[in-house]
Amino acid sequence: MTKTAWVFPGQGSQTLGMGMDLLDIAFAKEKFVEAEAILGWSIIDICQSNEEKLSRTLYTQPILYVIESILADILKEKEKPDLVAGHSLGEYIALYVAGVFDWSTGLYLVKRRAEIMDEAAGGMMAALMNFDREELEKLIAETPDVVLANDNSPAQVVISGTPDGVRKVMSEVKAKRAIPLRTSGGFHSHLMTAAATEFQEILDSVIFESAIIPVLSNVEPTPTIDAEILKHRLTKQMTGSVRWREIVLQLPENGIERVIEVGPGNVLTGLIKRTVSGLTLENIRSTADLPAECVV
């Protein structure tokens, strides 16, 4: 059997109209209704017509959780992954698929995470493409208010920190492209410490189960099924770096030959392609990508 990993994208992969094809499936419609009861607002309304809300952290994160988890649940009728991982917010879907918590608990955690992160202010993030890694690491070391937030691939990273610090690094690093990101704060940095402390209390109130599928965590890219380790890693995620490049390097190390990205877009399969070779890459972005026998 071909060993397969499922990976789940995070914020930035959302697109207007995503998930609306799922309304033709009775099980999915029920999930949207259940989600509205937990969230207090309609995913369908936002995905159909409100691009401004869709791009706001408060709404983006719960919407991605719901749509990606529904696609994963449908796909599970046909096959099961040998390993799971998610990028930032995507880690919550990975943990749900691995059986660490139930669906409504996961959505509650994501809802509260999104609310807390949406209120965070005062920071800035920027994506850098095709840069000199050694030079960048030196600049970050010399700029105390900036960190490497997302190490996505050998040629693409995101930095985070104070606006002055991020702009300084952007102006000094030799990169093909340096793009400021539209975020409400400096995510995955020390600027999220207060938010992480608030969220810690919420995480502490939730019981994690041992995973039935090994999970590669953002802050510690080695697979584990241990509930306490997975929770501890998640508590560090809001302020810690997303070590996606290292997660990808772990895939072949763990015998993975095939990777399925479950969720809108193809960001993660693109990053994987630029990091390792020889893996079969697939995307399940909508019901059109699902095996025919899964769509009922």
* 87 classed as catalytic: no
Do 212 and 143 lie in a common domain? no
Distance of CA 85 to the CA centre of its chain: 9
Tokens coding 126: 């920027």
Question: Of the candidates 141, 159, 181, which is a domain's last residue?
Answer: 181
Question: Of the candidates 165, 181, 197, which is a domain's last residue?
Answer: 181
Do 40 and 166 lie in a common domain? no
pLDDT at 189 over 70: yes
**How far is the C-alpha of 265 from the C-alpha of 286, rounded, in Å?**
10
Do 112 and 168 lie in a common domain? no
pLDDT digits (tens, 9 = 90+) for 56-74: 999 999 999 999 999 999 9
Q: Could you tell me if 281 and 289 are in contact, meaning their C-beta atoms sit under 8 angstroms apart? A: no
Do 151 and 238 lie in a common domain? no
The 3-class secondary structure across 89-118, one letter per residue, is CHHHHHHHHCCCCCHHHHHHHHHHHHHHHH
pLDDT at 120: 80
Do 198 and 261 lie in a common domain? yes
Question: What mean pLDDT is predicted for residues 139-148?
Answer: 94
pTM, to two decimals: 0.95
Do 172 and 193 lie in a common domain? no
The 3-class secondary structure across the chain, one letter per residue, is CCCEEEEECCCCCCCCCCCHHHHHCHHHHHHHHHHHHHHCCCHHHHHHHCHHHHCCHHHHHHHHHHHHHHHHHHHCCCCCCCEEEECCCHHHHHHHHCCCCCHHHHHHHHHHHHHHHHHCCCCEEEEEEEECHHHHHHHHHCCCCEEEEEEEECCEEEEEECHHHHHHHHHHCCEEEEEEECCCCCCCCHHHHHHHHHHHHHHHCCCCCCCCCCEECCCCCCCECCHHHHHHHHHCCCCCCECHHHHHHHHHHCCCCEEEEECCCCHHHHHHHHHCCCCEEEEECCHHHCCHHHCC
Do 224 and 268 lie in a common domain? yes
Angle at 180 between CA 177 and CA 184, to 5 degrees: 160
* Overall residue count recorded for the chain in this entry: 296
Question: How many structural domains comprise the chain?
Answer: 2
pLDDT digits (tens, 9 = 90+) for 68-123: 999 999 999 999 999 999 999 999 999 999 999 999 999 999 999 999 998 887 79
Do 70 and 172 lie in a common domain? no
Q: Choosing from 69, 87, 153, 188, which is the catalytic residue?
A: 188
**What does each C-alpha distance from 244 to 63, 264, 293 come to in angstroms?**
22, 18, 32
Do 96 and 143 lie in a common domain? no
Average pLDDT, the chain: 93
What are the residues whose beta carbons fall under 8 Å from the beta carbon of 117, sequence distance 6 or more? 57, 61, 184, 185, 187, 192, 195, 238
Indicate which CATH number applies to the domain containing 277.
3.40.366.10
Tokens coding 163: 């606006």
Do 79 and 211 lie in a common domain? yes
* 88 classed as catalytic: yes
Question: Of the candidates 136, 162, 181, which is a domain's last residue?
Answer: 181
Q: Domain limits at 163?
A: 124-181
pLDDT at 274 over 90: yes
pLDDT at 295: 59
Do 195 and 142 lie in a common domain? no
Q: Which of 94-103, 122-131, 285-294 has the lowest mean pLDDT?
A: 285-294
Question: What mean pLDDT is predicted for residues 145-168?
Answer: 95
Q: Choosing from 13, 69, 87, 88, which is the catalytic residue?
A: 88
Indicate which CATH number applies to the domain containing 146.
3.30.70.250
Do 135 and 271 lie in a common domain? no
